[in-house]
């Protein structure tokens, strides 16, 4: 955690985001805000990784089409 924040600080990314928030160019909270969108992105990435681990193949991998437990939207 702390290393990731430090990397964002070093790259100037965190300062850019905070400057946009201070200038009113970026909403921090609420619908469409920076924090909810970050949480959404993290959860979606985690769920995709969990699904890949559970099924045993990456999304779009042709091997998945031949398996009964495919990413076809059906249970």
Question: Do 56 and 72 belong together in one domain?
Answer: yes
Question: Do 39 and 71 belong together in one domain?
Answer: yes
User: Where residue 46 falls among pLDDT bands split at 50, 70, 90?
Assistant: very high
What 3 state SS string does 9-75 have? HHHCHHHHHHHHHHCCCCCCCCCCCHHHHHHHHHHHHHHHHHHHHHHCCCCCCHHHHHCCCCCCCCC
Residues 6+ apart with CB under 8 A from 21: 27, 28, 34
Range of the domain at 67: 31-75
Question: Do 2 and 19 belong together in one domain?
Answer: yes
pTM tops 0.85 = no
Question: Do 36 and 2 belong together in one domain?
Answer: no
pLDDT per residue as tens digits for the range 17-27: 999 999 999 99
Question: Do 42 and 68 belong together in one domain?
Answer: yes
Question: Do 52 and 75 belong together in one domain?
Answer: yes
User: Where residue 69 falls among pLDDT bands split at 50, 70, 90?
Assistant: low
């Amino acid at each position: 955690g702390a290393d990731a924040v430090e990397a964002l600080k070093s790259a100037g990314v965190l300062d850019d985001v905070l400057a946009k928030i201070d200038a009113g160019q970026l909403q921090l909270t609420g619908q469409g805000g920076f924090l909810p969108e970050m949480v959404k992105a993290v959860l979606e990435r985690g769920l995709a990784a969990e699904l890949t681990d559970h099924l045993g193949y990456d999304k779009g991998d042709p091997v998945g089409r031949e398996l009964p437990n495919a990413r076809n939207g059906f249970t």
